[in-house]
């Protein structure tokens, strides 16, 4: 079991397109240097990854850094109650996102309706990065920059592990380029 897990983890990591990683890190770097906001969001384990990623990026020592994880539970539940759960991120972006800001949506399936709606809105305002797994879902297709971990459906734990590694790599690349 242990060796199989390691084998799958390496397999999934090795198939990621390096160009996607480079393009995403450059988009993040550009957003930071121009003083744009960076919004990060996802559901469940992907929200945990988003929170961790936001925390790591905030530690980047640049005076213009503005990273906002859409993890405010009162905002999430208020929007879900007053509108619908599919709007929890898009409504927050509509209230906070400025032109040329960056939105990063994370979804294992790539088909989370609230992540999709938020990325669709963000595409009208700024730059979008989608980090997906499984077949990539709609997120892979609609994100301006797409980092996709091709995997078997339902392997959330493997995809979430690789997603966190991607976020750590992106942070390392951004820090190395602007600090």
The answer as to whether 104 is a domain residue is yes
Q: d(Cα 111, Cα 27) in Å, to the nearest integer?
A: 23
In a domain, 119, yes or no: yes
Number of domains in the chain: 1
Q: What pLDDT is attached to residue 54?
A: 97
Residues 170, 74: Cα–Cα separation, whole Å: 29
In a domain, 79, yes or no: yes
Q: Which of 10, 33, 41, 31 is nearest to 167 (CA)?
A: 41
**Tokens at residue 107, please?**
């979804």
Residue 43 lies in a domain: yes
13 assigned to some structural domain: no
Whole-number Å distance between alpha carbons of 109 and 46:
10
End-to-end Cα separation, the chain, in angstroms:
41
> Between β-strands 38-42 and 127-132, what pairing exists: parallel, antiparallel or unpaired?
unpaired
How far apart, in whole angstroms, are the C-alpha atoms of residue 23 and residue 170? 10
**Residue 135, token pair as written in the block:** 């077949």
Question: What residue numbers bound the domain in which 50 lies?
Answer: 27-178
* Domain membership flag for residue 15: no
pLDDT per position as a tens digit, 46-76? 999 999 999 999 988 778 899 999 999 999 9
Residue 117 resides in a domain = yes
Task: Give me the pLDDT at residue 61, please.
Answer: 72
State percent of the chain over pLDDT 90. 93
pLDDT band at 177 (very low <50, low <70, confident <90, very high): low
Residue 116 to residue 174: CA distance in whole angstroms = 25
Please report the sign of the dihedral spanned by the C-alpha atoms of residue 155, residue 145, residue 13, residue 175. negative
Q: What is the CATH number of the domain that holds 37?
A: 3.40.50.10490
Q: Is residue 1 part of a domain?
A: no
Q: Over the stretch 25-44, which tens digit does the pLDDT of each residue have?
A: 999 999 999 999 999 999 99
Question: Is this prediction's pTM over 0.85?
Answer: yes
DSSP 8-state assignment for residue 137 = H
Reported in sequence order, the residue ranges of 31-157 that DSSP labels E, i.e. its strands, are 38-42, 67-69, 102-107, 127-132, 145-148
State the DSSP string of 89-108.
THHHHHHH--TT-EEEEEES
């Amino acid at each position: 079991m242990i060796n199989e897990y390691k084998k799958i983890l390496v397999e999934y990591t090795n198939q990621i397109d390096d160009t996607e990683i480079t393009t995403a890190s450059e988009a993040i770097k550009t957003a930071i240097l121009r003083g744009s906001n960076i919004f990060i969001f996802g559901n469940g384990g992907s929200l945990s990854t988003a929170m961790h990623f936001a925390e790591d990026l905030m530690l980047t020592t640049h005076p213009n850094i503005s990273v906002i994880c859409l993890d405010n539970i009162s905002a999430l539940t208020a929007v879900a109650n007053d509108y619908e759960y599919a709007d929890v991120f898009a409504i927050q972006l509509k209230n906070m996102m400025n032109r040329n800001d960056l939105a990063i949506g994370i979804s294992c399936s790539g088909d989370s309706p609230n992540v999709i709606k938020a990325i669709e809105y963000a595409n009208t305002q700024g730059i979008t990065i989608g980090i997906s797994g499984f077949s990539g879902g709609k997120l892979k297709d609609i994100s301006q920059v797409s980092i996709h971990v091709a995997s078997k459906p339902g392997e959330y734990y493997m995809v979430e592990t690789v997603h966190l590694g991607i976020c750590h790599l992106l942070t390392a690349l951004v820090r190395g380029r602007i600090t």
